[in-house]
Structure 1
């Protein structure tokens, strides 16, 4: 190939041909550089990762690292994707959700030991408290995955998933209580401070209102009761992450057991109806889908503030109704799918790193590790997910995906759902996970307080 003529300082000259040795060397160097650029740490090109890491270190050393959006994006991306890559390269560990565990809990340990300097921790904490970024991530994931989901699968999945959720919760409650009692913790403590907190729906929407209810009934300080119940939620979340990673590995070995993010079989392999449309999609459709997610979040927040209804559940119901009744065009549904994929790919691990820094206290995790409590929690979560696995087969659902969804019932609310589904590489199940977490947790709390009021 001959390069075009070029003019330099008034003189006309010809570029050397590709056959020229110097030009061939330039092309080889260019190709080598491009190959290096295509090597990535997470989603970040390797040279960019190195340069950005050096720039962040220099900024942190000078004390100039701020909580503004751009520096925080850079900081969380570099830290989280580095941890993710390490976790993916540890044999066995990577198959049980290692990347997620490392990204979530290593920063917690580094904060505890002060290995992560205050100049780095402070802007992350300030950003988290000011931006509440989790409530942008979850709407984007929920709305995006629902609108891009097959309509028949969505309806059938929502109707059928309550069976493995209910059966699994009951059986897990019985088994967990039996194990804790045999290990000497007593029936009352096992039920109300280990088993039920595991399935209460997380922290803010789960164990905190649960222990406030306990406080009213038992006339004990809520803080003391919360300290007893919180370890169960944390260990339950870690256990569900590990089991979800194991189920993901099993699904790769036995593909017939999993829909890789689908609960039910679909005639069009789970593609949304809009994917069949020939209507072109452009960037405005993606932006419009993002605004739809924000709009539904605000409506859910309004319902929570005025009617006392759980905001995420309202948002979820509205998104499902919009999908079922053909509210949005195929182009917008495709745009929602892109929004979902972007957040699932680019935002999940940085968000988990921030969660590890801000709201995962290492001291409480370690203090909760005593043998009877850990064994009881592991038995509860294992029974919950195993029961869902076998029940799902009778319901003509994919057993692995159903078990993972029900496993989120033992997580730490929205943050737990993110971690568990990421470990299983099934973020598309987020709508069903929210049902398991929010509605399953609400039912657990309500029944727990009714029973406690009757026996005290």
Structure 2
């Protein structure tokens, strides 16, 4: 549990009238001890309330209930992950929050009314998309525009290098282990790089079913394990990369993709807002919502991927000086709030509702596991080595490249959270959305030619 310290240990809390009574000081200390973001007394009361609601069949789908359920479970797992030996060094909190809820749901350890309430809200509200919008728009609008465009152009080099190496090494390994060249490439390597389930596996398996004459459900069952275990491998490797960055500081920018000046706008811009108020934060938030809806409309009208449209709209807005310093500063607050308060509950919900535990287990068959790990490791290694060609930090370059093997937006969140590099989200979206889309298109064209 983390403690918010605003005074030295030797000085008791004080008010204008003098030293605070010991009882009140002790209570304040408890209130300043957090489980994730939840004050300890509030955390304990929430647990009691959730037990009571479950016992009285009073669990509903209202927003307050959903927030309480996801926050208590998510931050409990996060605290456990932060305390596990060895695992905590490689993003243990994000790893547990990303995958343990799937096991809890499979074992029935999350009460069914809670699971239903969280699942219904997650599916109907599309809160994952809104969270990604807040992170993308907040990070882009608060990034130095002089560095922004260079990073977007350069990141394609390590992404391409990592993808090619992953295809070669992964396909070779699976073939050597007896999985077959065709099946290894189309049903293991390609799904890993397809960009997740909704944007990758679904269109990929629809294409497979039409071209190969197989049932889509059968195809989906075959590609889900590589996607799930590939994402788990990427999360673990991202944590290891973060640890490498701590051991060898010259290899990392600590979240900054390119060497040189910081990419943080408020550290490089001479013009700064006079003050930040709640209206600035609200203005930045509604700007993120507006760009998200722009992406949704583009998808409805032209079938363009909504996150990609949103991403490039934010980039254009930043490059064209389209927002004032006040809104730029507000964007940074929106971005940081999303990371601090929302990331773990989102990961918990996605794992509980949309990550089948059976698919994860199926991916651990020895030949499958070795092939998947080889594919993702080769991808990360290619991104790491190619970083020097375009003068990017190797650790950050490899982490962005690893998101090409993630489970869409939720996978990006897990990977970047495990490595404490969430500021790389705009670049991760390029790897996931554009890289995944090109992978699916290329695979379907190739398999149609072969068959």
**Normalising TM by the smaller chain, what interval?**
over 0.9
Q: What corresponds to 2:246 in structure 1?
A: 252
Per mean C-alpha deviation after superposition, the further-off stretch among 254-263 and 179-188 is: 254-263
Correspondence list, 1:13-32, <5 A = 27-32=21-26
Q: What corresponds to 2:53 in structure 1?
A: 59
CA distance in structure 1 between the aligned counterparts of 2:429 and 2:40, rounded to whole angstroms: 35
CA distance in structure 1 between the aligned counterparts of 2:269 and 2:337, rounded to whole angstroms: 18
Is 2:330 the counterpart of 1:323? no
Correspondence list, 1:208-227, <5 A = 208-227=202-221
CA distance in structure 2 between the aligned counterparts of 1:268 and 1:86, rounded to whole angstroms: 33
CA contact under 8 A between 1:408 and 1:436: conserved in structure 2? yes
Kindly state the Cα deviation for residue 269 of structure 1 after the two structures are TM-superposed.
Answer: 5.6
CA contact under 8 A between 1:165 and 1:436: conserved in structure 2? yes
Kindly state the Cα deviation for residue 368 of structure 1 after the two structures are TM-superposed.
Answer: 2.6
Q: What corresponds to 1:373 in structure 2?
A: 368
CA distance in structure 2 between the aligned counterparts of 1:129 and 1:210, rounded to whole angstroms: 22
Q: What corresponds to 2:346 in structure 1?
A: 351
2:192 to 198, 201, 212: 198
Question: Which runs of no fewer than 5 residues in structure 2 stay unpaired?
Answer: 1-11
Kindly state the Cα deviation for residue 177 of structure 1 after the two structures are TM-superposed.
Answer: 0.7
2:70 to 51, 73, 76: 76
Change in 2 beyond 3 A, CA 1:170/1:328: same
CA distance in structure 1 between the aligned counterparts of 2:420 and 2:184, rounded to whole angstroms: 32
TM-score by length of 1: 0.92
Provide the secondary structure at the position in 1 that maps to 2:265: coil
Per-residue Cα deviation, 1:103-124 (whole angstroms, up to 9, x for no partner)? 1222211111112221221211
CA contact under 8 A between 1:212 and 1:222: conserved in structure 2? yes
Provide the secondary structure at the position in 2 that maps to 1:393: helix
CA distance in structure 1 between the aligned counterparts of 2:43 and 2:412, rounded to whole angstroms: 28
Provide the secondary structure at the position in 2 that maps to 1:425: coil
CA distance in structure 1 between the aligned counterparts of 2:393 and 2:242, rounded to whole angstroms: 12
Provide the secondary structure at the position in 2 that maps to 1:234: helix
Is 2:177 the counterpart of 1:177? no
Per mean C-alpha deviation after superposition, the further-off stretch among 32-41 and 229-238 is: 32-41
Aligned length: 435
Kindly state the Cα deviation for residue 32 of structure 1 after the two structures are TM-superposed.
Answer: 2.0
CA contact under 8 A between 2:161 and 2:382: conserved in structure 1? yes
CA contact under 8 A between 1:281 and 1:334: conserved in structure 2? yes
TM-score by length of 2: 0.93
Kindly state the Cα deviation for residue 29 of structure 1 after the two structures are TM-superposed.
Answer: 2.2
Is 2:176 the counterpart of 1:188? no
Kindly state the Cα deviation for residue 268 of structure 1 after the two structures are TM-superposed.
Answer: 4.3
CA distance in structure 1 between the aligned counterparts of 2:376 and 2:91, rounded to whole angstroms: 16
Q: What corresponds to 1:11 in structure 2?
A: none
Kindly state the Cα deviation for residue 278 of structure 1 after the two structures are TM-superposed.
Answer: 4.3
Kindly state the Cα deviation for residue 267 of structure 1 after the two structures are TM-superposed.
Answer: 2.3
Q: What corresponds to 1:405 in structure 2?
A: 400
CA contact under 8 A between 1:258 and 1:400: conserved in structure 2? yes
CA contact under 8 A between 1:275 and 1:334: conserved in structure 2? no
CA distance in structure 2 between the aligned counterparts of 1:48 and 1:183, rounded to whole angstroms: 53
CA distance in structure 2 between the aligned counterparts of 1:70 and 1:310, rounded to whole angstroms: 31
CA distance in structure 1 between the aligned counterparts of 2:351 and 2:195, rounded to whole angstroms: 19
Per-residue Cα deviation, 1:45-71 (whole angstroms, up to 9, x for no partner)? 111111121112111211101111111
Kindly state the Cα deviation for residue 279 of structure 1 after the two structures are TM-superposed.
Answer: 2.6
CA distance in structure 2 between the aligned counterparts of 1:269 and 1:148, rounded to whole angstroms: 9
CA distance in structure 2 between the aligned counterparts of 1:357 and 1:290, rounded to whole angstroms: 27
Change in 2 beyond 3 A, CA 1:395/1:120: same
CA distance in structure 2 between the aligned counterparts of 1:269 and 1:321, rounded to whole angstroms: 17
1:102 to 92, 96, 104: 96
Provide the secondary structure at the position in 2 that maps to 1:328: coil
Provide the secondary structure at the position in 2 that maps to 1:64: coil
CA distance in structure 2 between the aligned counterparts of 1:403 and 1:268, rounded to whole angstroms: 19
Change in 2 beyond 3 A, CA 1:385/1:252: same
CA contact under 8 A between 2:81 and 2:87: conserved in structure 1? yes
Q: What corresponds to 1:290 in structure 2?
A: 285
Kindly state the Cα deviation for residue 271 of structure 1 after the two structures are TM-superposed.
Answer: 3.4
CA contact under 8 A between 2:147 and 2:263: conserved in structure 1? no
Per mean C-alpha deviation after superposition, the further-off stretch among 98-107 and 133-142 is: 98-107
CA contact under 8 A between 1:303 and 1:311: conserved in structure 2? yes
Per-residue Cα deviation, 1:275-319 (whole angstroms, up to 9, x for no partner)? 751432211010000000000011110000011111110000100
Provide the secondary structure at the position in 2 that maps to 1:40: strand
2:300 to 299, 302, 305: 305
1:361 to 338, 356, 361: 356
Rg larger in structure: 1
CA distance in structure 1 between the aligned counterparts of 2:326 and 2:259, rounded to whole angstroms: 24
Q: What corresponds to 1:207 in structure 2?
A: 201
CA contact under 8 A between 2:256 and 2:262: conserved in structure 1? no
Q: What corresponds to 2:379 in structure 1?
A: 384
CA distance in structure 2 between the aligned counterparts of 1:270 and 1:293, rounded to whole angstroms: 18
Change in 2 beyond 3 A, CA 1:332/1:183: same
CA distance in structure 1 between the aligned counterparts of 2:377 and 2:134, rounded to whole angstroms: 30
CA contact under 8 A between 1:36 and 1:47: conserved in structure 2? yes
Q: What corresponds to 1:8 in structure 2?
A: none
